Each structure stands twice: as C-alpha cells, then as structure tokens.
Chains A and B, each alone.
Chain A
Amino acid sequence: MSLRGPLRVFVPVVLALTVGGLILLVLGKDPIGYYSYVMERSLLRWGGAQETLTRMAPLLLIAAGLIVAFRSGIWNLGGDGQFLLAAVASAALAPALIGGVPRGVTLVLCMLAGSLVGLVWSLLPAVLKSRYGINEIITTLMMSFLGTSFANVLIKLVLRDPGTTVPQTRSLAVDDRLPRLFGTTIHSGLLLAMLAVVGVHLMMTRTAFGLRLQVLGANRAAAVHAGYRVERLTIAAFALSAALIGLAGAVEVLGVWGSVRADWNPALGLLVVPLVFLARFNGYAVIGFTLFFSALMVGGESAARRVGVPQHFVLVLVALLLLFLGLVEYLDQGRRKAAGT
C-alpha cells in the first residue's frame, strides 16, 4: 500500500500545519484563529484573493524557469540576480519607450528585454559549466550576488529618477502597466505565467527537446553516448531558465510596481526553489503549491498586524512542509520496497 497522488501531498500539508499550530500554541498564540484568519484574508475575501492571485504571477514564472533547469540537472540558484536585473532593465526601458511607441509594444519590448537580460546574466555560468564543468551552484550564486549589487549600482548611479528622494527608477504610470483582467486588480501577467508553466511542462514531457534535456539531467554520460549536443543543450537549458526568471522580474515591474527602488530584493528566486521541489518538478503541481504559498504570504502579512504572529512564521510552515514531504516520500519508498515492487 503506498500513498498515491493527492494524498502524498495532503498528508505532509496536514502534518506541517499541525506542527506549525503546535509551535504557535507553545508561543501562546491561537493556531486556529491564525489559520482561519489567514485563509479568510487571502482566499475568501475577494480583495485578498485578487492579491493572492497577483502574487502568483512572478512565482509561477520563476517556477517555470527552475523546472527547466532542475529537470535538466542544472542547479540554477542565481534566480535573484537574474530577476532583479531584468526588473531594472524593464523599469528603465518602459518610461523611456512609453511616450514614443504604443503601450502594447512598450510592454512586449520590456518583457523581451527583461528575458534577454536574465538570459545574458546566466551565460557565464552556462559556458563555464558546459565547457569546463565548473559547478554551477557556485557560479550562479556568485552571479546572483553580483547581479543584486549591480542592480543597485544601476539604480543609484545611472537610472536614478532625479525627482525622488529615495533612489529609484522613473515610474511607469499605472494606466500604462500590464492590463488588468476582467475588471479585477489582477494583471495579465498571471495569464502569461500560467501559460509559461503549462508550456514548460508540456515541453518537458512531450517534445524531443524536453526529453533530451531530461536525459541530460538524469545521466549526462548517456546524453553524450546517444549523440546529443550536450554543450548546446546545457546552454539552452540555462538560457531558457534564466529568460523565464527574467520575464518574472519584468512582469512584476510592469504589472505591479511600475519602478524599482534601490535595495529592493524580494528574494523570490530561492523561495521558489522549495516550491518546485515540493511539486517534484511537475508543472501542474507547482501551480497548486504556488497558490498555497501566495495565500500564506498574503494572509501571513496582515496576520502580523491582526493576530500578532509575525509574517515570517510562513517560512516555518514552508520548511515544515518540505521536511514532511521528504519524509513521507522516504517512508513511502521504504514501504514500496518492503512490498517488493
């Protein structure tokens, strides 16, 4: 008997929420009150639900990028740098273009620019890995630190809006940002993100390119043996991954903020890694986990004010979820082994 499908996710979620609740109890907080407040605030209220869905857009795009990389056996942990530089690039480009070309063209160009910047920022690790076999965990992490600082340098020294006191880029007017969906506050970046995740999933599971990447990820020597162009595949996987993460940065700026402030770093790159693992690199499952996580974030932030539980408690829940998911998977494997299948 083994845990299948939804149950395999459901059990760890319940365990994580239970243990999280116990922690709250120990700290003298009311877990039931907290959970019900979070759920009501982020999912049941229309305003909160819109906020939750809006939050999902960049997370989903980053997840799509990470799925491509991880399935190809590439540990792209440099998402933050790729995301921020892309955000800065599109934030710099949008106000400059908007006067000259139509809004639609501006937005598309900015998103392309964001993807391109993300991609470019991954090229060095990609080449170092494919040519010299240099571990991409180190190089992407370093490029990420480098990119985060570089983004700040650009904002402070090059792109600074002279009209503001806090260093930030020039702002894109609210009306010029990504169009809203059906009269809600949710911007169309969410649709794009959903398409990206589903597209990546289909690409990985139903195309020759996706299968080559999977072979590369599972056994590089086999990819060489089978005659795939391993160097090119590695660089392609890196580029696609970073471009999607760059797109996330562009979408977040064009859809929500309109500009980038100095020292702004939502650090989503590393936060999405656990979600992608929780979903076991599956595109459909990642949508569910992203929704769950966004809801926790949105609810958790206002719970800090209302219920007196700091918003970072959400991180504890994510960590517990990861631990329990790993544990359940392990126990499940053990049981299947014992059953002799």
Chain B
Amino acid sequence: MGGLLTEPFLVSLLYGAVTAGMPLLLAGLGEQMSEKAGVLNIGLEGMMLVGAYTGFVAAYHSGSFWLGYLAGGLGGMLTALIVLLLCIRRGLNQIVIGIAITVGAEGLTSLLHYVQFSRSYPRLAAAPVLALPLLRDVPVLGRGLFSHNLLVYLAVALVFALSWMYRSTYLGLSLEAAGNQPAALDAAGVDVVHTRSLAVLCTGFLAGLGGAYLANVGAGIFVPFMTGGAGVIGIVLAMLARGRPLMVMVGAALFGASLAMTTALQVAGIDIPTDVVQMLPFAVVMAVLVVFGRHSMLPSALGTPYTRGER
C-alpha cells in the first residue's frame, strides 16, 4: 500500500475531493436553509441540473465563468420559484412537487441540450485557478487544497457566514421559528411565507450554483442527467447535519473524497471497482446512524404548509 502515499496520488485525491465535494457542499447548504425553515426540498436534484444547464450555456456563449455561475444560480432560483408558488403559497405536497421538479428538470434539460447541441458535447476551457499565496507552496496540500477556482474559497467562507447568520441574527431566529413553530413566528409579526420563500430561493440559488460548478469546473461539459444523485446526497447531508453548516462541509468532504478516490486510484494504478469505493461513505453514514442514531432532530413543521389559523 506504500504506493498509495505518493504525492501524485494524494494531490489527485485531495484535489478531486474538493472538486467533487463542492456541488454537494453548495447544494447541501442550500437544502439546509430550506429544511431549517420547514420546507423539504426534494426537488434539489432538479435545481442543480437546471443550474448546471443554464450555467454551462451561459459560460459556453459568454466565455465567462462568473456569468456561468450567475446564470446557474439564477436557473436554480427560477426552478425554486415553482416550490415557492405551489408549495409555500398554495400548500401543495412538497414531496410531489419536488419529484415533479426533478423529473421535469431531467427531461427539460436533456431536451434543450439536444435541440441546441444535438449529439455533440462541446467542452469549456479549464476553469481559472487561484493558487493562494504561501499556502500553495505547502507540499501536497498546496496543489490539493489551495489551488482551486475562487468559488471554492468563497464557498468555504459561506459555511462560516451561514453559521454566524443562524446563530447571531434575527434572520437565523426567524428561520428556526419558521421550521419549528410557524404560528409563533406569525404571532411575532414576521411573515412565515416570506421567510420560507427567502429560504427556498436561496436554496435554489445555491443548488444552481453547485450545478454550474459541477458542469463548468468539475466536468467542463454538460451531459444530460449529469448530477446523478448529487442532489439526493445534498438532501441527505442537510438532514444529517442537523442545522449546522460545518457538518454539511464535513459530509461533503467525506462524499467528495470517496468520489475522488476512484480517479486517484487509477492515477496510482490500482484496479479496484469504483463501486466498492463509492459504497464507503454511505456505509460509514449508515454505521454512524446505527451506532449513534437516536431521534433525528428535524424541524417539527418540516414538510407541512403554513396557513394562518389552521393547525
């Protein structure tokens, strides 16, 4: 196993873990905000996919990665608008609409992609890399962790910003109340629908951003169905993290590392079926649940619409 500890292997593992973990992190952070506010966003996968598509198309035509991110975020946000209008405002079942969003996004993006590009898959140039001064010279870590697209560092900053926001602002309290006892928030003079709408739009933006990163930086191309369950993992991460952004990041790193392990093993010339490695994070999480799992501390009003004067 000594061959595993070579520098190229470790660099490729760390670098890959960050690249693969980023979409999960962004989507997971987004989902966490919705869940905090009491909205179960099963359509996360769909929002990511739409973000991947719009983000790719924008970057492809403009040549700008930042426009790509923006378009991806807006695409996800637009998709989240469906949840806002139908589930939050009208109280329709969040699971049904979520599945509709995912299924619809899969269909629509592959349809649009087909109409635009037929069967060709154009590729973007490599994403610009910002190597952090000083840190980039650290062996292994420098190239593995500190030589990424600027968005990566911003995402890490976002984790801490969100932690602070949940803990120390009125918005944080409002989100918590919207998820646990919406009637209390309403009685305190804060509009529950507005609070939840804000959360869901942020979720859409972050999921779309994650999708755009996945397509433009992670893959460099858009392929139909390319999220391949990343949104579902995002939901799982958010639920397991129980409201703590830092835990989403830990989870995203774990899942990202296992996804990256596949490529890294190839780099190291070791032939283990990728499936074995891919099972690891799920097996670890299940084991953790079996050993430590007690009650899953989810917001008590999760998934239930709020109507004034009704229980």
Say which residue of A133, A143, A314 sits within 8 Å of B107 (CB atoms). Answer: A314
For A167, the closest partner residue in chain B by CB is: B273
Whether A271 lies near B103 (C-beta < 8 A) is yes
For A20, the closest partner residue in chain B by CB is: B107
Whether A277 lies near B111 (C-beta < 8 A) is no
Given the known interface contacts A145-B229, A319-B107, the answer about A138 and B86 at a Cβ–Cβ threshold of 8 Å is no
A221 at the interface (CB under 8 A from B): no
Given the known interface contacts A135-B239, A323-B86, A326-B86, the answer about A312 and B115 at a Cβ–Cβ threshold of 8 Å is no
A 306-341 to B, binary, CB cutoff 8 A, 1 in contact else 0: 000110111111111011001101100000000000
B188 at the interface (CB under 8 A from A): no
Whether B294 lies near A153 (C-beta < 8 A) is no
For B108, the closest partner residue in chain A by CB is: A316
Whether A124 lies near B114 (C-beta < 8 A) is no
Say which residue of A139, A141, A274, A316 sits within 8 Å of B111 (CB atoms). Answer: A316
Give the Cβ gap from B93 to chain A, nearest Cβ, in Å: 7
Say which residue of A137, A315, A320, A326 sits within 8 Å of B106 (CB atoms). Answer: A315
Say which residue of A139, A313, A319 sits within 8 Å of B286 (CB atoms). Answer: A139
B 97-125 to A, binary, CB cutoff 8 A, 1 in contact else 0: 10111111111101110110000000000
For B225, the closest partner residue in chain A by CB is: A312
Given the known interface contacts A128-B289, A146-B286, A314-B107, the answer about A133 and B296 at a Cβ–Cβ threshold of 8 Å is yes
Contacts of B224 in A (CB 8 A): 312
For A317, the closest partner residue in chain B by CB is: B107
For A273, the closest partner residue in chain B by CB is: B99
A-B contact count (CB 8 A): 143
**Interface hits, A139-164 → B, CB 8 Å:** 139, 141-143, 145-146, 149-150, 152-153, 156-157
A7 at the interface (CB under 8 A from B): no
Taken together as a complex, chains A and B put the C-alpha atoms of A149 and B279 apart, in Å, by 6
Interface size class of B (residues with CB under 8 A): 35 or more
Whether B275 lies near A319 (C-beta < 8 A) is no
B 80-100 to A, binary, CB cutoff 8 A, 1 in contact else 0: 001000100011110111011
**Interface hits, A111-138 → B, CB 8 Å:** 124, 128, 132-135, 137-138
B78 at the interface (CB under 8 A from A): no
A 256-274 to B, binary, CB cutoff 8 A, 1 in contact else 0: 0000000000000011011
Give the Cβ gap from A85 to chain B, nearest Cβ, in Å: 12
Whether A141 lies near B236 (C-beta < 8 A) is yes
> Count of chain A residues with Cβ under 8 Å from any Cβ of B?
46
Contacts of B93 in A (CB 8 A): 277, 326
A101 at the interface (CB under 8 A from B): no
B202 at the interface (CB under 8 A from A): no
For A320, the closest partner residue in chain B by CB is: B104
B311 at the interface (CB under 8 A from A): no
Taken together as a complex, chains A and B put the C-alpha atoms of A274 and B101 apart, in Å, by 11
Contacts of B102 in A (CB 8 A): 270
Taken together as a complex, chains A and B put the C-alpha atoms of A97 and B95 apart, in Å, by 42
B2 at the interface (CB under 8 A from A): no
For B224, the closest partner residue in chain A by CB is: A312
For B276, the closest partner residue in chain A by CB is: A153
Please give 7 more A-B residue pairs, beta carbons under 8 A apart, in addition to A315-B110, A327-B90. A150-B275, A150-B279, A153-B273, A156-B273, A277-B96, A310-B110, A326-B96
A/B interface sample: 13 pairs, CB < 8 A:
A75-B95, A128-B290, A137-B239, A142-B285, A149-B275, A156-B275, A274-B100, A277-B99, A316-B108, A318-B104, A322-B97, A322-B99, A322-B103
